[in-house]
Amino acid sequence: MNTPDYSTIKGSAEASFTEKKSEFIGFLRHVETDEEANAYIAEIRAMHRKATHNVYAYILRNGSVTRYSDDGEPQGTAGVPVFEVLRKEGLTDVCCVVTRYFGGILLGGGGLVRAYSHSAKIAIDAAERMIMRSCYPFEITADYNLYGRIANILPEFEVKVLDTAFTDNVTISLLCVSSLADALYDKIVDTANGKIIVHKGEESFGNFA
């Protein structure tokens, strides 16, 4: 798997603030397809039918898709600023919708850009980030005498330990970045002289945040 690592968010997040009596609510969700992004945009619009604007931007990893809309705000003052925040934060597979309830005071072009940018940023800050890396899942089962030896090996590799179960034996579940997976497998088997069960799963993306 030669696909590069990427950053996204887990689930959904939202945050809001008020600028000159206009309320801005930033909504953010993990999406992976056009269909999921459009469904999320429709969901927010349905929740906020009385809002003055529901501006959006989204970035998808598959196909490098980007979309944005000013939704009636002056061109370039809403959708693009939201998109730029997503891009500068290095996020993909995300959709951001910023809902505005107009408070009666015009913000001007610069004010709108700042407000929509800030809305996207505070929604991102409220989200749980995920750093997705190409990796292999491992399940390592050994007796208690070997546990310390294995635990000392793991820091030499880029791994994320997901769980350690202490029963009759010790079972460690972890993710190891793809480039080091074979070396980790060989080192654990060599260290334990075969007195260990190592199950290496299928390559996929895992969260290393």
Number of Cβ within a 10 Å radius of residue 6? 16
Q: What is the pTM of this model?
A: 0.85
> 63 burial class (0-12, 13-18, 19+ CB within 10 angstroms)?
exposed
| Per-domain residue ranges of the chain | 6-126, 133-207
Contact 98, 27 (CB under 8 A): yes
Taking only the tens place, the pLDDT of each residue in 5-58 is 999 999 999 999 999 999 999 999 999 999 999 999 999 999 999 999 999 999
- Given a cut of 90, whether residue 63 has pLDDT beyond it is no
Phi-psi region of 142 (alpha: psi -120 to 50; beta: other; left: phi over 0): beta
Q: Which residues contact 146 (CB under 8 A, 6 or more apart)?
A: 170, 191, 192, 195, 196
Beta bridge partners of 164: 172
CATH topology of domain 6-126: Ribosomal Protein S5; domain 2 (3.30.230)
Higher pLDDT, 206 or 2: 206
Residue 153, both tokens: 């090996």
Residue 77, both tokens: 């003052």
- CATH architecture, domain 133-207: 2-Layer Sandwich (3.30)
**133-207: same fold as 6-126?**
no
Amino acid in the structure at residue 59:
I
